[in-house]
Structure 1
Amino acid sequence: MGSLQCQNVVVVGGSRGVGRSIVEAALGERANVLAVARGAEALKELSWEKPGVRTLAADATRDTAPDAVFAALQPDVLVICAGAFAPSASIQDQSWDDFSANWETDVKASFLFCRAALQGQLKPGSRVVLISSGAAFSGGPPNSGGYSGAKQMQMFLAAHSQKEADRLGLGLRFMALAPMRIMAGTGVGQRGISSISAYLGISPADFLASMSDVQTPADVGRAVVALAGGKVPGIAFTVSGSGLAAAA
């Protein structure tokens, strides 16, 4: 323990679910942690339950968000975990706003913070981890709109940003981490389980029973800590019940 001791870790989307597990994992490593989220009430609850964490209420999709976040705490490790719920209707029943929800939230937040990093707002040696999804590989169900494409774009964005950082000699490291299985017990996971099982015409329990090697939010938190330690080579990674692995 303590691999991130005294380092500054910022988790955007850190008040609930997977983001909160990442916050908890970083706190367990004795890092200085800032949790960023839109909801002030969820952040208040987090700070009450985890007294060592700092919090900031901010919308990560606003152009000014990186400036506000970096003013609150300059990160050594920046984790972008903010995301919208995927749609839960057939393509023909979605509006463009429904279909593009994850592009306008997950991808936009990732883009804004990666852009700020490449513009020189992070010091050399900083690490950026974008939380993607196994849907980037599987394609996801037809009722999930642009979710799988958005999560794949986050992986592309990490790779593109790394090439630019190297070209510019910035000394930054960009990574993308994809939890491979949908997770019960998180807001995004529970909604996804309900949506997919309804689409398939099976019960949520049967859908969950059909999955194996499922990671937990705590597994994701541990994987982020391992990547933030800077000793695992690569850009794209997966995490499952079997642990962290380089993406094929």
Structure 2
Amino acid sequence: MGSLQGQNVVVIGGSRGVGRSIVEAALGEGATVLAVARGTAALKELSRETSGVKTLAVDATNETAPDAVFAALEPDVLVICAGALAPSAPVQEQSWEDFSANWEMDVKASFLFCKAALQGRLKPGSRVVLISSGAAFSGGPPNSGGYAGAKRMQLFLAGHSQKESDRLGFDLRFMALSPARIMPGTGVGDRGIDGISAYMGISPADFLASMTDMQTPADVARAVVALATGQAQGCSFVVSGSGLAAAA
């Protein structure tokens, strides 16, 4: 029997990359899984290739998104993995739309679903995991716009939401999980690697060669399962190639 047997897991941004790995890991642990994403084509591909997954096409930044998602499947575990591609240009060459892309996607989706949870939409004992980034701690490269700040805000949002849940007696768990290193093979990762390498004037291969202790999407997925099923204390965690740890 899997560690998530009998549990409902909803993954916002679950059609590809890290989100898809989380979907696959949750299915492997016996959960009923709903993958939510904006793109119908990617969801159809996921359905064809992944037996048993449920899918829902919804824009997670729409104010009504939590209503649609919770009507489709009431989660015991809610994972917010939706994220925009970070910009890749010096600050002075970005528009505000470029700079704020991750605030308008990553932060807004996290905010809407945490807000819904704190309005009593999730049953006691439910867990909410926001997928952040190691850039929340390092600050990220100077050509990535508001990405690092947006990912840091997800950490704050998990902490604020936990305090509100405790104050209101809702018995909910809010956690933020930050992959420590950029990940090749994902849309966000590949875009970031190309942008950082170009900014530094080196090849993507040389940039990757400088990285150590890198985690994979599968490592992130295992960390999500561990947080969803364990008794870890705190709201902020980091996963690297060495495994899962509480954030310092």
Written as runs of structure 1 = structure 2, the 5 A alignment for 1:59-208 is 59-208=59-208
SS in structure 1 opposite 2:26? helix
How far apart, CA to CA, are the structure 1 residues paired with 2:201 and 2:104? 29
* Cα RMSD (Å): 0.6
How far has the Cα of 1:111 moved from its partner?
0.1
* Deviation readout 1:17-66 (Å, 9 max, x if unpaired): 00000001101101000000000010000011112100000000000000
* Deviation readout 1:115-174 (Å, 9 max, x if unpaired): 000000000000000000000000001100000000000000000000000000001000
How far apart, CA to CA, are the structure 2 residues paired with 1:230 and 1:146? 32
* Deviation readout 1:189-239 (Å, 9 max, x if unpaired): 000000000000000000000000000000000000000003222110000
Matched, 1:245 2:241: no
Instruction: Give structure 1 stretches of 5+ with no counterpart.
Output: none
Structure 2 partner of 1:55: 55
AA in 1 matched with 2:177: L
Q: Across the two proteins, how many residue pairs are aligned to each other?
A: 248
What TM-score, normalized to structure 2?
0.99
How far apart, CA to CA, are the structure 1 residues paired with 2:160 and 2:230? 19
Structure 2 partner of 1:34: 34
* Deviation readout 1:59-113 (Å, 9 max, x if unpaired): 0000000000000000000000000000001000000000000000000000000
Matched, 1:223 2:210: no
How far apart, CA to CA, are the structure 1 residues paired with 2:176 and 2:151? 10
Written as runs of structure 1 = structure 2, the 5 A alignment for 1:12-31 is 12-31=12-31
AA in 2 matched with 1:131: I
What TM-score, normalized to structure 1?
0.99
How far apart, CA to CA, are the structure 1 residues paired with 2:187 and 2:100? 19
How far apart, CA to CA, are the structure 2 residues paired with 1:49 and 1:95? 38
AA in 1 matched with 2:93: D
SS in structure 1 opposite 2:143? helix
Deviating above 6 A after TM superposition, structure 1's stretches of 4 or more consecutive aligned residues are none
